[in-house]
Amino acid sequence: MTDGLRPVEGDAGPLTVRGGVGGIRFQWEELEEAARVLSLLALEAGDVAVSLGRVDRDVCELPWRVLHLQPLGDGAGLHYQGARSQLDGARTTAVDNGRSLASTEERLRASLQAYRVADGVAAAATDTARAGSAATIRAVAREAISGGALEVGPIALRNRAVGVPVAFDGTIEGVVGRLAAVEADDPGTFEVLRAGTEGSPVYVVVLPGTQPGRVEGAAGSNPFDIGGIAEALAEDSRFTEAAVLDALGRAGAHPGDSLIVAGYSQGGLHAVNLAGAMGGRYDVQLVLTVGSPTGWHESGTSEYLHLEHSADAVPELDSTLNSDDRHRTTVTLHNPVPDLGRRTDGSQEPWGLGPAHKLENYSEGARLVDASEAPSLAPATALLGAAGAAGTARRYSFMAFRRPRPAGAPGPRVHAGRREAGLGYGHDLDR
C-alpha cells in the first residue's frame, strides 16, 4: 500500500507534474471510492451466500415433495447429491469472498486513515507557513499603497485591435505565444481572444507580466507596473477585475460564456484572483499561469495549470508550493535554459530577473508540456484544445492605464476585510 500512495510525476521529458488527477489527493479519493465499492461487494457476496443457503434448503426438501410420485433412482440420487455438494461449495465460496472483501476494505481504510493523519500534520504546518507569509507580504503591500510608495486605482481602457483574426491552436505553447505577443506590444496592453465556435465561444484573457514605464499617450500610469503587484496582493486585483470585465463586454462576451484566463508573472497573480471573483458571472474553465508565485492562492472550482521553471526564482517568491488538489496541477520544467544572455551585437542583455524567467524559456518548456502524456495535464489540454479547434481566434486588444488621481485627492486607504463596491479615489477600501 505504501508505494501506491505516491504522487504521480510525468516522465515524458524534463518536467515534473504535481497535483491534478495524478496527484496524491486524487488518488486518495479514488482509494476511498474503492473502499466504498469493496464494502458494497462484501454485502452483495453475503446476500449471494444467503440466497444459496435458501436454494440448498429448497433442494434438500425436494425428495420429500416428489417421493409420493416416484422414488428417486440411483442416477437421480447421485445427481441430487452432486447438486447439494455444488450448492454447498458455492455458498462457502461466497462467504469466504465476502469476508475477504470486508477484510480488504478494513485494511484499505486503515491505511488511508494513517496517511491522512500524517498528511494532516504536514498540511497544518504548510498552511500555517502559507498564511503567515501571505499575511506578511500583503501587509507590506497595503503599507506601500497607503504610504504612497506604490500606486493603485481605477483603470481606463482604450480600444486597439478589434476582432482581428490571429492564429490560436489551443496548445500550451500557443497560449505562451499569445503571452509573448502581449509582452511585445506597447506597455499597458492586454488582450481578449474570442475562440471556440460562433455558437459556443470561449473567451481567453491574456495578461502580461510586470512592465516598466508609462503608457504612451495616456495621462495615467501603467496598471501593470510594480504597483500592479501590490494591487494583486492587497486588493485581490479588484481594479484589474473591473477593467477585464469592461474588456470582455467590449469583446462581445455575455454572462455565462466560457472563459480561460492566462497570465505571465504578475499577470498570473491577477489571473488566479480573477478566477475566483468572476466565477459567478462567467464559466471560468481554466486558469493558466506562467512563472508566477501562486502558492498563497487557494484553488477554486476551475482547472488550474501552473508552469514553473526550476531555475526561475519568481515562482518561489511566495516560498510556498501550490496545493496538491484534484483540479490544480503544477508543472516544474527542467529544460535547459536557452542562451538568452546576449544581443545580436554581442553585448550583454539586461534580463533583469534572469533568462529562466523569460517567455522564450517557457516556450521551450511549453512544447514539453504539450507532448507529455501525464494524466494530470489532460483536463487543461482538453479545454484548450476545444477552445482552439478552429485554429484561429478574433483578437481584441486594449491599452490600460490608471486614471489620474485628482489634485489633492487622498490615496486609497487599504484595510483587510470586506470589499466595497466603490472604485473611485478617496473611498475607504474596507474589504
Rounded-to-integer distance, Cα 178 and Cα 189, Å: 12
Q: Which residues are bridge partners to 333 per DSSP?
A: 15, 309
| Three-class DSSP labels, 224-266 | CCHHHHHHHHHCCCHHHHHHHHHHHHHCCCCCCCEEEEEEECH
Give the DSSP H or E segment for 64. helix 24-66
Q: What is the pTM of this model?
A: 0.70
| C-alpha Rg value of the chain to the nearest Å | 30
d(CA 110, CA 104): 10
Of 3-7, 231-235, 331-335, 344-348, minimum mean pLDDT range: 3-7
Residue 7 has pLDDT above 80, yes or no: no
The reported pLDDT for the residue numbered 311 is 93
Write down all domains in the chain, each with its CATH number in brackets: 2-11+22-142 (no CATH), 154-430 (3.40.50)
The Cα–Cα gap between 194 and 200 comes to 10
pLDDT tens-digit series, residues 9-61: 444 458 899 987 765 554 555 556 565 665 676 677 667 767 766 766 666 66
According to the model, what pLDDT value does residue 186 have? 93
Q: What is the b/e burial string over 320-342, where b = at least 16 CB atoms within 10 angstroms of the residue's CB?
A: bbbbbbbbbbbbbbebebeeeee
Lowest mean pLDDT, pick from 112-126, 141-155, 332-346, 396-410: 112-126
- Closest CA relative to residue 387, chosen from 85, 154, 174, 94: 174
Residue 105: the pLDDT is 62
Crossing angle for the helix pair 226-234 and 266-278, nearest 10 degrees?
Answer: 30
